[in-house]
């Protein structure tokens, strides 16, 4: 018999019974029970207006001013249609996505590890939450259907959760986040090498089509998130999601922040490849880590140092 995979308790087959037990043992605050039950059943959870508008505004101000600190941020290079990341420039640019803003923008840290979020993650993680990858989308990047286990690897792939936080109201057609309800219950997708990681020789279109077929075969409902500023959307490791195909202009704003987290009892897969980036910056009841910046850095603004990813 193959050993059962390491999962968060809320992703285990007996999760509903486990929730009742935890509740009886006083391990779950009353206010979190319905949220946990929803996450267990659906694989996602929405907290409308959970982040204070003033905090969002501070983060947006930081994003709008990032060009005043050229070289300190790491961005996509979509204008030149290049897959490599690049260091940020001296001109305002609302087209590209920015990585790991929690390193240089205090508001990005406060949002990703907001006490409400960090406490909720600690409940499902049974340990401190580590934010280990953050993407700030100024517009939709048009991600195809996927599970984060494929692209955001953790030593134990299922010890993963994410938040998607709206920094503005989302316009329909701008490439809104979309997902298949309950799709976290699909049988684990294995790639050609037997792992759960998307690697060399894989095709993202083929992978997306196979997920779509699997979701349709199970009759899962397809949903789109027309989020309002301050909404927090959680998903579990295997929820199938994508950016809904954009119908508006390519530069239509969709300011939103995705953070991926794992429990402190495991480690991001990239810790193997980048030993000098295993540093953690404590924050609140959690911490953050970065594949691009050398941490800890005592709160100064620093430049990314992962040379091989930067053009
Ligand atoms: O924001 C989106 O459209 C998708 C983002 C996503 O899938 C991710 O960052 O894991
Ligand atoms: Fe994703």
- For the chain, give the DSSP string: -PPPPP--GGGSTTHHHHHHHHHHTT-S-GGGHHHHHHHHHHSEEEETT-S-HHHHHHHHHHHHTGGGSTTSSEEEEGGGTEEEEEE--SS--SSS-EE-GGGT-HHHHHHHT-HHHHHHHHHHHSS-EEEEEEEEEEE---PPSB-HHHHS-BSSTTS-EEEEEESSPPPTTS--EEEETTGGGSPPP--TTSSSS--TT--HHHHHHHHHHHHHHTTPPEEE----TT-EEEEETT--EEEPPP-S-TT-EEEEEEEEEEETTS-BGGGTT-GGG---EEETTEEE--SSS-S--TT-------GGGB-
- Domain range annotation of the chain: 43-309
pLDDT at 220: 98
- Cβ-contact 134, 62 below 8 angstroms: no
CA distance 213 to 218: 9
> Among residues of the chain, what percentage have pLDDT more than 70?
97
241 touches ligand 1 (CB under 6 Å):
yes
Q: Tell me the two tokens of residue 173.
A: 């057609």
List beta partners, residue 140. Answer: none
The Å distance, Cα 24 to ligand 2 centre, comes to 34
pLDDT band at 299 (very low <50, low <70, confident <90, very high): confident
The Å distance, Cα 143 to ligand 1 centre, comes to 6
List beta partners, residue 283. Answer: 286
Mean pLDDT on 274-299: 94
The Å distance, Cα 94 to ligand 2 centre, comes to 21
Class at the top of the CATH hierarchy for domain 43-309: mainly beta
Instruction: Examine the pLDDT at 307 and tell me if it is beyond 90.
Output: no
Is the whole-model pTM more than 0.95? yes
Q: Tell me the two tokens of residue 302.
A: 């620093």
The Å distance, Cα 233 to ligand 1 centre, comes to 11
| Structure confidence by residue, pLDDT tens digits, 223-267 | 999 999 999 999 999 999 999 999 999 999 999 999 999 999 999
Ligand 1 atom nearest the C-alpha of 141 is 3
Among the bound ligands, the one closest to the CA of 260:
1
109 touches ligand 1 (CB under 6 Å):
no
Nearest protein Cα to ligand 1, atom 8: 258
Comparison of pLDDT for 42 and 307, the residue scoring more:
42
- Give the mutation target among 166, 174, 177, 256 for probing the ligand 1 site: most ligand atoms within 8 A of CB: 177
The Å distance, Cα 53 to ligand 1 centre, comes to 22
- Cβ-contact 173, 163 below 8 angstroms: no
CA distance 297 to 108: 16
CA distance 236 to 94: 29
139 touches ligand 1 (CB under 6 Å):
no
Locate tokens 């792939």: which residue?
Answer: 157
Q: Tell me the two tokens of residue 265.
A: 């009892």
Specify the long-range contacts of residues 16-25, CB closer than 8 Å, at least 24 apart. 16/40, 16/41
| Structure confidence by residue, pLDDT tens digits, 19-56 | 999 999 999 999 999 999 999 999 999 999 999 999 99
Residue of 71, 88, 67 lying closest to 79 (CA atoms): 88
């Amino acid at each position: 018999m193959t050993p059962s995979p390491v999962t968060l308790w809320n992703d285990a087959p007996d999760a509903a019974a486990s929730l009742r037990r935890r509740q009886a043992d006083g391990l779950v605050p009353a206010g979190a029970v319905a949220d946990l039950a929803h996450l267990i059943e659906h694989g996602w959870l929405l907290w409308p207006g959970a982040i204070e508008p003033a905090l969002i505004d501070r983060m947006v101000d930081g994003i709008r001013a990032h060009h005043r600190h050229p070289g300190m941020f790491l961005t996509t290079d979509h204008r030149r249609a290049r897959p490599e990341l690049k260091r940020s420039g001296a001109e305002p640019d609302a087209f590209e996505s920015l990585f790991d803003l929690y390193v240089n923008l205090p508001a990005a840290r406060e949002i990703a590890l907001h006490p409400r979020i960090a406490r909720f993650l600690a409940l499902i993680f049974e340990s401190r939450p580590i934010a280990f990858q953050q993407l700030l989308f100024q517009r939709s990047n048009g991600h195809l259907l996927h599970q984060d286990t494929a692209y955001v690897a953790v030593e134990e792939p299922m010890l993963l959760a994410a938040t998607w936080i709206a920094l503005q109201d989302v316009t329909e057609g701008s490439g809104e986040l979309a997902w298949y309800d309950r799709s976290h219950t699909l049988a684990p997708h294995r790639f050609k090498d037997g792992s759960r990681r998307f690697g060399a020789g894989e095709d993202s279109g083929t992978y997306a089509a196979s997920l779509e077929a699997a979701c349709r075969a199970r009759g899962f409902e397809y949903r789109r998130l027309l989020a309002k500023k301050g909404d927090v959307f959680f998903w579990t490791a295997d929820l199938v999601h994508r950016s809904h195909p954009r119908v508006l202009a390519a530069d239509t704003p969709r300011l939103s922040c995705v953070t991926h987290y794992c429990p402190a009892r495991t480690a991001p897969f990239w810790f193997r490849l980048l030993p000098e980036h295993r540093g953690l910056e404590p924050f609140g009841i959690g911490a953050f880590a970065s594949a691009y910046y050398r941490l800890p850095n005592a709160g100064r603004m620093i430049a990314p140092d992962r040379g091989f990813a930067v053009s």
